[in-house]
Structures are given as structure tokens and as C-alpha cells.
Amino acid sequence: MAENKKPAIGLNDEERFPLLSDLSFLQQLRQDAHAPRYNFRSGDRLESTHLEKVKQYAHTISHANTFWEAGEQPAWLEEYINWCIATVPFYENRPGSFAEQPTISRSDLRAAPWDFVSRDAVLDELLVYQTSGTTGPAMDVLFDPVSQACWIPQLQSVLQQHGISLDAAPDKVAIALICSQPETLTYASLSTYLNGAGVLKINLNPADWKSPEDRLLYLQKYNPQVLTGDPFAFLDLLKIQPAICPKVLVSSAMKLTAGVRQKLEDYFACPVLDIYSLTECRMVACADGDGDRYKVIRPELYLEVFHKDEDIPLPYGERGELVITGGNNPFLPLIRYRTGDFCSLEMENGIPHLVGLEARLPVPFYTLDGEQVKNIEVSRAMMQFPLAGFKLHQANDYRLTFTGWSDEAIAQKVQEELLRIFKSGIAVDIAIHPVTALKETKVVNYSSAFTL
């Protein structure tokens, strides 16, 4: 008879950081008198073979001078397509030619994420992340330890172009992800790739701390070298005025406006970078200055622009929907993935640039009392309903208009949830349509008469 084993509840710290023998700094970050009430534990799970692959990736991405030339395709593309067709269930019955490959969308990933897992992936290494919900319904995205850890080399490649380096010391906090939400996962972690330097995810919501003052005291004590977050979180950080000296602020998840950038640069006296990033494949490009031109940073991504409504690739310089092929994630290989974001493509010395990128602008909402409501709170609340998609608009008289695609029976519950979030007294119009009426591949969920 097989031995009965109790199910594993979770990994311990030694399993989360198998290559780090000294975890004292991690315990210090968690147990500090001013630490937040961390509600999660996270580790990179990098073994020796993983770490070597991350280092190789870092070398490749930082030394890539030419990605491909206009009118050509990257040398790796044909082999990558053949590998996907041979090992990934979703692609195995598709044409062998890249030119014949149809596009895929977020709905394909959400419907059956397991179909995108390569048979070469090691299932014991599975990591699951959830998209932020800043633009719509959250979605589970699968990674392995290598593809997960490679976000730091991607970040370093951007910082390198701006003359910024990280102090990868085991007693310093290298990166702090700043959130400002009603609730989110928070943790103190370490980066094996950065020699055990600290990586924090903290929420500025006072409810996550023993005392509101601890937010200042904790940040000032550990003085993170890099702050990452979205414009909403950074504006809330400005309100508490921490006396910290980051080397750089990195805004992602939604587009950074010039006005917000200027406020941040004036206070923190450091560069503020706007990175175009997707949870599905991590960092893609970094903005050049204050304009709408983004330089692509990933040599293992092939980018195209497609017609919004048809599977037709468009020439360089013509505006359409950004489509991505490639990546280094065996749990989610992408072939012609429609991002839902719009731009034109230009090549400059073998490096692609996204021009006129129409990505996710920060959209502010307000209660009748002028209290700001973040759209991520709405996204997370809507997860409980069987919505194929939804849109929310706020007019300048604060009235809300909600359009959803689902069963009409949920209309009353959706209205109750919006009244809970925006508080009683606000006007809410609800329209629920059949799922079959939804024609868009990625609904632009949020719009508002108000601006930041």
C-alpha cells in the first residue's frame, strides 16, 4: 500500500531561497518594529541551473545591439514557432508557417491557460501570478522560476541605458514595489540573482500597518534603491513625503503622464521612467523622454502591428494593435498575441520603437464627497461575477454608467457592489448585454470625465 502523505501547505524559506544560506536580512525586514503586516510569503526558488540561465539572459539582453531589420524577421523566429507547434497543445494543430499563424487574445489565455503550457515545462516549477486588474478582470498567468526572475535583468537593462546600477548587497533593499489599494498581497523577499538583496511589496493603505507613521519610518530606514509602481501609488506616496533617496522611480501597469512625472522628479530628485509592461510577458519597452515613443528592450520578442478588426499585419509606420510573439516562458509561449494596445512600429538601427503608444492611462474615479476610488478596486469586486467584459464611465456630475456582458440577472448585484464601493447617493446606470453581443477582443474598461 502506498504511504499516505499529508498535503504540503506551503514552502518554507529554505525552499523559497535554496541558494541563500543566510536569511537573517529577510527576517529583519519582516520583523522590524515598523514593518507592515505582511500577508504573503514569496521567494524566487532559483536553483543553480536556474540562476545560470538568468545570468545568461541578463548578458544577452544587455548586449543585444540589433534585434532585426525592417522587412526581415529575427533569426530565432522559425525555430521558436516549430518548438511551439511541437510542444504546446494550443498551437499543435496550427499551420507550420509563421505567416499563416492567426492572432490570439487575452480571452484565449483566460479560457484555458493549461493549453499554453509546453510539454517541456517542468510542472514542479510552476508559479502562478494574477494580473493586477488595473484595466479589467484579473487573470492568472503561469511562470517558471527563470522567466519570473528575469524581470530584474529586464529592469537592469533599462537602468543601464540611463547610467544607473543597483547595489546588489545582501543587507540592502534593491527594489520596493509600492501599492496603494484597499487590499493586495504584500511581502518581504530577497533576490538570489542580486546576491540576496531585499525586494519589498508594500501597500500604503494605513490599515496594513500597525501605525500610519510606520510607513515613513520603514521606508526611510531601508531606503529602497528603486521604487516601482503605478501613477496612483506614486501620487499617494508623495502625500506622506518620505525622506528617501531612490536612484530611480519606474512606473508601469499604466501610462505615466508628463504632469505626474514632473511632480515625482521634483520631489525625489531622480529619473522617473515609464515602462510598457504586460504581466503576460513582463517588460517590453521604455519611453524615450516625455514623448509617446518607446524603445523596445527585449531581443527575444518579435513585434508586429495588426489591423484592429482583421488578422492582417500592417506595414511599419502604420497604426494598429500591437501583437507580440516570443518570450522565455515555457508556461506561456506567445504566438501573435494581441495586446489590446495601439501604436505604430518604427525601426532604428535594428531596434524596434513603439510610436504613439495608446496604452493604459490612469483613470481617476470619485465618490460624491471627492474621495478617490481606484479602478483596481472595481476590477477586483467584479471578479465575483460571471462577466465576459465590462466598461465603467464616470461623468462630470459623478454619475456612473456600467456596461457589462453576462446574464441580465446579475444587474442588481453589480449595482449593489458599485454603491458599496462609491458609497450611497451616487447615481448608477446598469446595462447588461448577452455575451454573444461582445465583439471586442479587449474591452477598454475605464473612462472618466476627470483627470489626475
Average pLDDT of every residue of the chain: 90
351: CATH? 3.40.50.12780
Give yes or no: residues 377 and 232 share one domain.
Answer: no
Any domain includes 8: no
Q: Are strands 127-130 and 173-179 parallel, antiparallel or unpaired?
A: unpaired
Any domain includes 1: no
Residues 6+ apart with CB under 8 A from 417: 381, 382, 384
Give yes or no: residues 434 and 332 share one domain.
Answer: no
Of 129 and 398, more confident: 398
From 358, 380, 410, the end of a domain falls on 358
Q: For the residues 434-444, what does the mean pLDDT come to?
A: 66
**Per-residue pLDDT, 1:** 38
Give yes or no: residues 291 and 423 share one domain.
Answer: no
What is the chain's alpha carbon radius of gyration, rounded to the nearest angstrom?
A: 22
Any domain includes 206: yes
**Is the pLDDT score of 87 beyond 90?**
yes
Note the pLDDT tens digit of each residue in 272-312: 999 999 989 999 999 987 667 999 999 999 999 999 889 99
Give yes or no: residues 352 and 380 share one domain.
Answer: no
Any domain includes 6: no
Q: For the residues 32-61, what does the mean pLDDT come to?
A: 97
**Is the pLDDT score of 6 beyond 60?**
no
Q: What is the pTM of this model?
A: 0.82
Any domain includes 393: yes
Q: Report the number of distinct structural domains present in the chain.
A: 2
**Per-residue pLDDT, 129:** 75
355 membership: H or E segment, kind and range:
strand 351-358
Local confidence band at 131 (pLDDT 50, 70, 90 cut-offs): low
372: CATH? 3.30.300.30
Q: Cα separation of 6 and 16, whole Å?
A: 20
Work out the percent of the chain whose per-residue pLDDT is above 90. 71
Domain that holds residue 328: 13-358
**Is the pLDDT score of 77 beyond 60?**
yes
Give yes or no: residues 275 and 214 share one domain.
Answer: yes
**Per-residue pLDDT, 267:** 97
Q: Are strands 187-191 and 320-326 parallel, antiparallel or unpaired?
A: unpaired
Any domain includes 55: yes
Give yes or no: residues 310 and 222 share one domain.
Answer: yes
Give yes or no: residues 301 and 159 share one domain.
Answer: yes
Give yes or no: residues 329 and 382 share one domain.
Answer: no
Note the pLDDT tens digit of each residue in 368-387: 998 888 887 888 788 788 78
Local confidence band at 2 (pLDDT 50, 70, 90 cut-offs): very low
Give yes or no: residues 256 and 371 share one domain.
Answer: no
Give yes or no: residues 164 and 206 share one domain.
Answer: yes
Q: Residue 11 to residues 39, 43, 58, 272, 427: CA-CA distances in angstroms?
A: 15, 9, 27, 36, 47
Any domain includes 400: yes
From 358, 375, 391, the end of a domain falls on 358
Give yes or no: residues 347 and 391 share one domain.
Answer: no
Q: Are strands 127-130 and 334-348 parallel, antiparallel or unpaired?
A: unpaired
